[in-house]
Amino acid sequence: MSPTTTSAPSGSRIGVLGIGSYLPSQVITNDMLADRAGVTEEWIVRKTGIVARRAVKPDEATSDLAVYAARAALEDAGISPSQLSLVVVGTATPDMAGPSVASLTALALECPTTTGTFDIQAACAGFLTAVDMASTYLSVRGGYALVIGADTYSRFRNHEDRRTTALWGDGAGAVVLGPVDDGSGLLATRITSFPVDTEVGGIPAGGSRLPASHETVDAGLHFVRMNGRRIMEIFQEHIPPMTKAFLDDAGQDLEDVDHVVPHQGNQRMVESLPELLGFTRPRLHASAHDFGNTGSASIPVTLDRAVRQGRIRSGESVLMVSIGAGMTFGFALLRWK
């Protein structure tokens, strides 16, 4: 049985009313990472295509980035925090085990007590998973939702691991979702998974299985780990058929899509998509070159950047595709306004 594609009911389509993003001011260049990782700047660019990334200040956390992005999206939408029915944050790097980043964000925004809040942990697919959940909620309950992708992977970077240290950047992106009636909005969404063992990627310690201890810290188990080769194999094997199935169920063809905004695992991964999916027409959007892998933030950050630069115009369709540790996958097809 194929995964279910969620489509907005007729007459109650949910769309993006506003978008915003935030990237910390501190820029981390390849020369700041190369020596400690035992590699060269040229090696980092050749392997990843990344030349810079952003990192939070010592007093910043994921919720701070989420709040900045949220305020930009709310201003863009002309929506007040008092109007929000829901705040959902996709993140794998929360401020703490609890409360949720969504709760902390709602507190900072002074949302009313009627606003629901929760986080989604689907690794780098967190934002599109949150979009799927929030749009489904709104199609039934109505109102407005603030959906945020935010991560601070710099806090979990192992500077001596050359396979991962250059990948990670911090950032947040947000959208305000609400009802639209002009043909724009979300045409379809889907979330699915291909479960794999934890050795493929993740942060081993800090949870209930391996609580923080001197031993876990000494062993470096609080750093993010990744089997890049295995993840690329999964990406190459599963993204093409999953994307085709998603579009087929939505009644769309890839060559009819105007823009593709994928998760920014690294620049090389993004650049492989046209050949991997076999498309020539859609315009591919990337930000990993400048910002690295910002986790759940990568798609909304890239989308916001493209919109601000005038590269995505009203009436054009946007396909968003994400993959995260687990492995988790998210898809969304949007007609932009």
User: What share of the chain in percent tops pLDDT 70?
Assistant: 96
Mention every residue, 6+ apart, whose C-beta is less than 8 A from residue 142.
85, 179
Q: What is the mean pLDDT of residues 79-92?
A: 98
pLDDT for residue 271: 92
Q: What is the mean pLDDT of residues 137-166?
A: 94
Please list the active-site residues.
124, 263, 293
**Token representation of residue 155:** 């806090």
Quote the radius of gyration of the chain (alpha carbons, Å).
Answer: 19
Q: Convert the pLDDT of each residue in 269-288 to its tens digit.
A: 999 999 999 988 789 999 99
* pLDDT at residue 211 is higher than 50: yes
Mention every residue, 6+ apart, whose C-beta is less than 8 A from residue 306.
259, 261, 285, 312
Q: Convert the pLDDT of each residue in 126-142 to its tens digit.
A: 999 999 999 999 999 99
Where are the strands (E) in 180-279, listed by range? 185-193, 201-202, 225-226, 259-262
Q: Convert the pLDDT of each residue in 219-262 to its tens digit.
A: 988 988 888 788 888 899 999 999 999 999 999 999 999 999 99
* pLDDT at residue 43 is higher than 70: yes
Q: Convert the pLDDT of each residue in 159-189 to its tens digit.
A: 888 888 999 999 999 999 999 988 899 999 9
Q: Convert the pLDDT of each residue in 93-121 to its tens digit.
A: 999 999 999 999 999 999 999 999 999 99
Average pLDDT, the chain: 93
Q: Please, which contacts does 196-205 make with residues 24 or more away whose CB atoms are closer than 8 Å?
A: 196/230, 196/234, 196/326, 196/327, 199/225, 199/227, 200/226, 200/227, 200/230, 200/231, 200/234, 200/325, 200/327, 201/123, 201/225, 201/226, 201/227, 201/231, 201/325, 202/123, 202/325, 203/92, 203/156
